[in-house]
Amino acid sequence: MQAVEQNAKLPLDDREDISFGAELLRKGIHLVSLSIPIGYALMSRQQALMILVPLTLAFVIADVLIHWSMPVRRLALRIVGPLLRPHELRNDRLLLNGASYVLISACIVVALFPKLIAVTSFAILIISDISAAIIGRRYGSHRFLDKTLEGTLAFVVSALVVIAVIGTLYRLPAIYFAIAACAALVGAIAENLSIRLKMDDNVSIPLSIGVVMWLLAVAIPSGELLLQVE
């Protein structure tokens, strides 16, 4: 039976699950990551990476220790145990937790893409992933690909809200909204198919959105503005 991740309220026995309350708390903590695109909007790429790279290394090292050091593992279980998914607790092989993947993803996105594309793709990751998980888990009842239709629609709608806010703040032309909306649709599919793609959705979402925005900005003459906004 194919696994369906946390945004699916479907009668499948092999889902990885934590309680809905723990899911809400987990996503509330995830919301703190919105500070990454907001902070990057206010500083240079070099400054952002000087903060993100050491922070990422620290989280990854802590993640490794949780798997392979029993004292660290016991401490982590005491503090955040109820928030960890079963695969994050495995000690037979190293599987990083969501926080580590968020920071790894942030480093990649900031390093690879122009600022406007990086900020957009990462802001969508935070807001839309939270929306998809909560709505899909609470109200999801119709299967769509690997997850639920309700969760995927929540992702798209919340992504459009993020795009509208960023576009308004930067006073961007209509081409930004069109390009970002197309990329958001691809991001929604990437989130939905993350298990099949064998990628953590904290990586697949911003990378897919960033690549599509960059390709469209290069391909469409008026889209070059997206590559220049700092």
DSSP strand E in the chain: where? 143-144, 147-148
* pLDDT exceeds 60 at position 162: yes
pLDDT higher at 137 or 119? 119
**Does residue 169 contact residue 41 with C-beta atoms inside 8 Å?**
no
Please report how the helices 201-219 and 115-139 are oriented relative to each other, as an axis angle in degrees rounded to 10: 130
Tens digits of residue pLDDT in 169-183: 999 999 999 999 999
For residue 90, pLDDT over 80 is answered with no
**Which pLDDT score, from 0 to 100, does residue 8 have?**
38
Adjacent-strand bridge partners of 147:
144
- Enter the DSSP assignment of 142: S
Rounded Cα distance between 26 and 34, Å, is: 14
Its pTM surpasses 0.95: no
| Domain limits, the chain | 20-228
Average pLDDT for 53-72? 83
pLDDT in tens, 8-47: 333 333 345 556 565 666 666 778 889 999 999 999 999 9
Q: Identify which of 178, 186, 229 has the alpha carbon closest to the alpha carbon of residue 207.
A: 186
